[in-house]
Structures are given as C-alpha cells and as structure tokens.
C-alpha cells in the first residue's frame, strides 16, 4: 500500500493511493497515519478494504508528510563510501547517528525555507524507514520485521551550522522545512528488496545525485538492529539512512542552494518530491 496524508498543513487527513493513482480518503477507517496506525494489525485492516469503496480525493491537493506526530527522527551520516570520500571524512567503522528535530518535517512538495543566517544550504536525497513496532535490542535477522514501510526523505542540511558551529550535527539539520518526507509511506510488503533502490536528486533540472541503496556501508537490517542497542524504537519513529555522493559540499568549488532553486528527488517505487527554496520571512 501507499499511505499518505493530504490537506492543509496541520490539518491533514489520512489517505491511500490506489492502483489507478487516485487518492482515496481513509478518515472513515483510521484517525490518522502515525504511531498508532502503522502496526501490522492496523495495516492489515486497511489492506482488507477495497480502495474503490473509499471516497476519491482531488489529486491536485497538497500532500503532507505521510506519517504524523513523529516523536523521534533519527538520521545516519556518512553511510555511503563515495559520500564520505567527497566530504573528506573518514569512512566510519560504526554507524554515525544524529537526530533531526521532528519539527523540521514537512510535506514532499513544501518549500525549503532558507534560514536568515544560512550560507551553505545543501541537499541530501535519502531513503528512510518508519517503524511499525517496538524494537529494543532487536537482532539483524528480525530487524526488517519491525519496519512498517519506506519513504523518500530529503535531509536538508545547513553546512555552516552543521560543521562550523561546533557541537553536534543536529544544529545544521533541524530548521523548519529541513525534513521533507513522502510523498507516500510504501508498506514493506511492496518493497521486497530495499537494499536495491535507485536514489536520485536534481537541482534546477541538473542531476546532482544518482546512487543506489546497494552501496550503503551499513544495511537497513544492520542500522535498525544497531540503533536499537542504544534506544527503544517505537511505532512511527523515522530513521533516514544516509545519502549517496553528489552533495554541494562535495563539489569543487562548493555549490549550495540559493533562493529560487528547485530541487527534485526520489527513489525507485517510493515516488518523488519537488521543493522550491525560499527565504525565511
């Protein structure tokens, strides 16, 4: 299934995308798409419904982030060898973990808001997972069974805040609009091999990133198991798994986003995003 949320920011309603590409309203079935509704029993309940029996929705409506009320937005850094090399960073022996503030999450086509202090605004196309059940100390063999689904994540990054302000990366990763998710949450049964998905990103129509999750240093299984050794993952938590090479920081000379730039990104079977960079008002 392709689950989504649609409508004005802050007032989104739950929906799904049927096989014809029509948005169907799910608000008569579930209150929202979030931690309480991404468990296996609830997903099975939604799956049992004939989408044609649900009200159709105008496909031109705004799409919000496909998962609501995210409590923990965990990110993995330097998880592609070529990305570590392009940023002159040692290839990690263990996963590099940091958090993004959940308040940075927006819809897949919402504007990227450039902070007034921004000097080095950068892009990162990624594939993220949404947890569907509690996971603490889970094994690699069990790890993917805890995943409700997969989705596109744009890990927008302000490099000066991230690198030159000291402390942890969260400072450069968490401004409002720095976490576009979606357009859909694609349930795991429709992603038979998450470790073989193409990932791409364009800026103003020019391809900047073109990679594959097959090139990840640490696999989805390993990451979920590894993170769960240090914290309990809960239904609705989002883990974004790193970006391939081609970021602005890795270019010589560096190339960063400017007001008016248009960013498009996506991944196999997970849909695409499109954002315009605007200056914070």
For every residue of the chain, which 3-state class applies, written as one string?
A: CEEEEECCCCCCEEEEECCCCCEEECCCCCCCCCCCCCCHHHHHHHHCCCHHHCCEECCCCCEECCCCCCCCEEEEECCEHHHHHHCCCCCCCCCEEEEECHHHEECCCCCEEECCCCCCEECCEEEEEEECCCECCCCHHHHHHHEEEEEEEECCEEHHHHHCCCCCHHHHCCCCCCEEECCCEEEHHHCCCHHHCEEEEEECCEEEEEEEHHHECCCHHHHHHHHCCCCCECCCCEEECCCCCCCHHHCCCCCCCCCCCEEEEEECCCEEEEEEEEECC
Looking at residue 147, what is its pLDDT? 98
Structural domain spans, the chain: 68-279
Dist CA 211 CA 80 (whole Å): 9
- Reported as a single tens digit per residue, the pLDDT across 110-133 is 999 999 999 999 999 999 999 999
- Reported as a single tens digit per residue, the pLDDT across 163-205 is 999 889 999 999 999 999 999 999 999 999 999 999 999 999 9
Q: Are 233 and 131 in contact (CB under 8 A)?
A: yes
Q: Are 37 and 30 in contact (CB under 8 A)?
A: yes
Question: CATH assignment of 68-279?
Answer: 3.90.850.10
C-alpha to C-alpha distances, 74 to 117, 140, 147, 179, 228, nearest whole angstrom: 24, 18, 14, 11, 11
Q: List, in sequence order, every residue forming a beta bridge with 207; answer none if it has no partner.
A: 202
**Quick check: 219 pLDDT over 80?**
yes
Q: What is the mean pLDDT of residues 78-99?
A: 91
Confidence of residue 19 (pLDDT cuts 50, 70, 90): very high
Q: What is the mean pLDDT of residues 230-236?
A: 98
**Quick check: 49 pLDDT over 80?**
yes
Confidence of residue 89 (pLDDT cuts 50, 70, 90): confident
**Quick check: 281 pLDDT over 80?**
no
Specify whether the backbone of 93 is left (phi greater than 0), alpha (psi in -120 to 50) or beta: alpha
Looking at residue 87, what is its pLDDT? 84
Looking at residue 167, what is its pLDDT? 87
Give 220 or 82, the one with higher predicted confidence.
220
Give percent above pLDDT 90 in the chain: 94
Place of tokens 């592609």: 80
Q: What is the mean pLDDT of residues 26-46?
A: 95
Q: What is the mean pLDDT of residues 76-104?
A: 93
Confidence of residue 97 (pLDDT cuts 50, 70, 90): very high
**Quick check: 232 pLDDT over 80?**
yes
Give percent above pLDDT 70 in the chain: 100
Looking at residue 88, what is its pLDDT? 84
Looking at residue 79, what is its pLDDT? 96
Confidence of residue 248 (pLDDT cuts 50, 70, 90): very high
Q: Are strands 2-6 and 13-17 parallel, antiparallel or unpaired?
A: antiparallel
Looking at residue 24, what is its pLDDT? 98
**Quick check: 280 pLDDT over 90?**
no
**Quick check: 25 pLDDT over 80?**
yes
Q: Are 140 and 77 in contact (CB under 8 A)?
A: no
Using CB atoms within 10 A of its CB, is residue 266 exposed (0-12), middle (13-18) or buried (19+)? buried
**Quick check: 44 pLDDT over 80?**
yes
Average pLDDT, the chain: 96
pTM of the model: 0.97
Dist CA 268 CA 210 (whole Å): 12
């Amino acid at each position: 299934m392709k689950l989504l949320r649609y409508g004005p920011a802050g007032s989104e309603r739950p929906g799904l995308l049927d096989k014809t590409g029509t948005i169907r309203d799910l608000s008569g079935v579930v209150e929202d798409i979030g931690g309480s509704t991404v468990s296996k029993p609830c997903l099975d309940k939604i799956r049992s419904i004939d989408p044609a029996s649900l009200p159709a929705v105008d496909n031109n409506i705004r799409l919000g982030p496909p998962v609501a009320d995210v409590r923990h937005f965990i990110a993995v850094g330097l998880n592609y060898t070529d990305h570590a090399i392009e940023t002159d960073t040692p290839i990690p022996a263990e996963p590099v973990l940091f958090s993004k503030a959940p308040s940075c999450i927006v819809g897949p086509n919402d504007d990227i808001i450039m902070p007034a202090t921004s000097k080095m605004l950068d892009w990162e196309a990624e594939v993220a997972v949404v947890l569907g059940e509690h996971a603490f100390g889970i094994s690699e063999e069990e790890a993917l069974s805890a995943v409700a689904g997969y989705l596109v994540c744009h890990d927008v990054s302000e490099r000066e805040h991230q690198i030159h302000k000291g402390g942890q990366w969260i400072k450069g990763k968490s401004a409002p609009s720095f976490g576009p998710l979606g357009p859909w949450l694609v349930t795991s049964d429709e992603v038979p091999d998450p470790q073989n998905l193409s990932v791409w990103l364009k800026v103003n129509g020019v391809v900047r990133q073109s990679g594959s999750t097959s090139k990840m240093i640490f696999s989805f299984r390993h990451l979920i198991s590894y993170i769960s050794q240090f914290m309990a993952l809960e239904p609705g938590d989002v883990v974004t798994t790193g970006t391939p090479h081609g970021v602005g920081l890795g270019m010589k000379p560096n190339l960063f986003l400017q007001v008016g730039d248009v960013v498009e990104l996506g991944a196999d079977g997970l849909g695409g995003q499109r954002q315009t960079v605007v200056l914070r008002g």
